Amino acid sequence: MAKHAVLSSGAKMWRCLPCVKSELRLDLTLACGQSFRWRETAEGHWTGVMGGRVWTLTQTDDSLWYHVYKNQDNRGEECDRKRKAGVAFQVENKPEKRSRVAVKEEEKPVAVTIGQDTEEEEETLRDYFQLNVKLVDLYREWGAADPHFRRIADIFTGVRMLRQDPTECLFSFICTSNNHISRIQGMVERLCQTLGAPLCQLDQASYYNFPSLSALADNSVEACLRDLGFGYRARFLQQSAKQILDTHGLQWLEGLRSAPYLQARDALRTLPGVGTKVADCVCLMSLDKAAAVPIDTHVWQIAKRDYNYTSGTAQKSITDKLHRDIGDFFRKLWGPYAGWAQSVSVIDEYLSACFCHVSYGLSAITTECFHPL
């Protein structure tokens, strides 16, 4: 049976990009609640689905290593993927090839053609992690403007915003309402198992693509998801998918990437189960709206505690106006990438919450979390 790749064993083919840890910390970025589908399958090795393929990622001091599992998917997906990638490549022409094959001394070298597949995979990775955004520069700017940011910036380095698939992001975050991370992870996993196309099996784990809009829109889906423990969110998921297909079409979500932030957010809020918080998450994490600052109870507490934030009238719950005001407050403080800064500022709160509920895979994080210095 196929196994998860491990860099040190050299049994699988690995490639890498130059990438220092101040630009990207895989563990923090993949486990801080942006995406719910990455798992630490070996120490420092993260396996998940990206662009319809299964990947294992790991990093050394100056490199991001990746392995893409082949020999897995059905022909249709594969052809579709290549067609799309072909289009993307005409737009972005990359002359230099920085990837190379990892060959440890004690192993026999593996012959590899650095071809279109490599370029394409490298581009997928750069796009997903938004590596063109210089995080080190942003950290410096946020720190210069904000003493509280400086306090945690040295511990939680390399936390960057993923550029997720909008469909996966939207339907995952509809699951987050009134919920906690460990349960959300289980729900999203069951969602993919049940409605997504199978990709491959590694050790005891099966990997699936995220379900398509049409799969989610089917009338049978609500009952199905209720059986899987989605509760009242089951109806939101099915109805939102149906509403998108019926009134907008398949490309609508992607199209919101080129809409202004507030317009995209309002569009999302017309969907059932999507309020201000979820809409902001989708805007920030999949629609290129770096200024979107999702306001939840944690962020509100932090705003009050650390930033001495007080609304005019003492409020008990987070109203529309409070969303706007706190968002504007942080945008003024941190600038156009305020949403990115916010994900760093709240990370210790979220990881602590994780630690209460999740019993695996976070040892490295919790160690840093509870023994920062």
Element housing 16 (H / E): strand 15-18
- Residues numbered 25-44 forming contacts with DNA, rule: CB under 7 A: 32-33
Nearer to DNA, 181 or 365 (CB): 181
Please name the amino acid found at residue 252: W
- Residues numbered 303-332 forming contacts with DNA, rule: CB under 7 A: 313, 315-317, 319-321
Least spacing, CB of residue 296 vs DNA, in Å: 4
Distance, in Å, from the CA atom of 212 to the CA atom of 221, rounded to the nearest integer, reads 12
CB under 7 A: which stretch of 12-20, 93-101, 203-211, 293-301 binds DNA? Answer: 293-301
Backbone torsions φ then ψ of 58, nearest 5 degrees: -155, 170
Q: Which of 126, 148, 190, 226 binds DNA (CB under 7 A)?
A: 226
3-state secondary structure of 53: strand
Q: Could you write out the DSSP letters of every residue in 192-258?
A: HHHHSPEEEEETTEEEEPPPPHHHHHSTTHHHHHHHTT-TTHHHHHHHHHHHHHHHT-TTHHHHGGG
Backbone torsions φ then ψ of 295, nearest 5 degrees: -105, 115
Structure tokens at 11: 């049994």
- Residues numbered 236-265 forming contacts with DNA, rule: CB under 7 A: none
- What is the x/- site pattern for DNA, positions 167-206, by CB under 7 A? ---------xxxxxxxx-----------------------
Question: Catalytic site residue 134?
Answer: no
Distance, in Å, from the CA atom of 99 to the CA atom of 53, rounded to the nearest integer, reads 19
How many residues touch DNA (CB under 7 A)?
Answer: 42
Q: Which of 271, 292, 344, 365 binds DNA (CB under 7 A)?
A: 271
Q: Is residue 18 a contact residue for DNA (CB under 7 A)?
A: no
Nearer to DNA, 3 or 357 (CB): 357
Distance, in Å, from the CA atom of 201 to the CA atom of 70, rounded to the nearest integer, reads 11
Q: Which of 51, 158, 166, 273 binds DNA (CB under 7 A)?
A: 273
Nearer to DNA, 126 or 298 (CB): 298
CB under 7 A: which stretch of 21-29, 102-110, 201-209, 223-231 binds DNA? Answer: 223-231
Least spacing, CB of residue 238 vs DNA, in Å: 12
Nearer to DNA, 8 or 297 (CB): 297
Beta-bridged to residue 54, according to DSSP, are 49
Distance, in Å, from the CA atom of 232 to the CA atom of 373, rounded to the nearest integer, reads 43
- What is the x/- site pattern for DNA, positions 93-132, by CB under 7 A? ----------------------------------------
Structure tokens at 193: 């198992």
CB under 7 A: which stretch of 39-47, 52-60, 158-166, 269-277 binds DNA? Answer: 269-277
Nearer to DNA, 68 or 322 (CB): 322
Distance, in Å, from the CA atom of 251 to the CA atom of 63, rounded to the nearest integer, reads 35
Distance, in Å, from the CA atom of 150 to the CA atom of 327, rounded to the nearest integer, reads 20
**Alpha-helical segments (H) within the chain:** 26-31, 75-91, 116-129, 135-145, 147-153, 166-174, 181-195, 213-217, 221-227, 233-247, 252-255, 261-269, 276-286, 297-307, 320-334, 338-345, 347-357, 363-370
Q: Is residue 269 a contact residue for DNA (CB under 7 A)?
A: yes
Q: Is residue 357 a contact residue for DNA (CB under 7 A)?
A: yes
What are all long-range contacts of 331-335, with beta carbons under 8 Å and residues at least 24 apart?
331/291, 331/293, 333/145, 333/146, 333/307, 334/142, 334/145, 334/146, 334/149, 335/141, 335/142, 335/145
Least spacing, CB of residue 354 vs DNA, in Å: 7
What is Dmax (Cα atoms) for the chain? 70
Nearer to DNA, 60 or 366 (CB): 366
User: Could you say which of 277, 304, 316, 332 is catalytic?
Assistant: 277
Nearer to DNA, 73 or 280 (CB): 280
Interface residue list for DNA (CB under 7 A): 32-33, 176-183, 226, 229-233, 235, 269, 271-279, 281, 294, 296-298, 313, 315-317, 319-321, 350, 353, 357
What residues act catalytically? 277
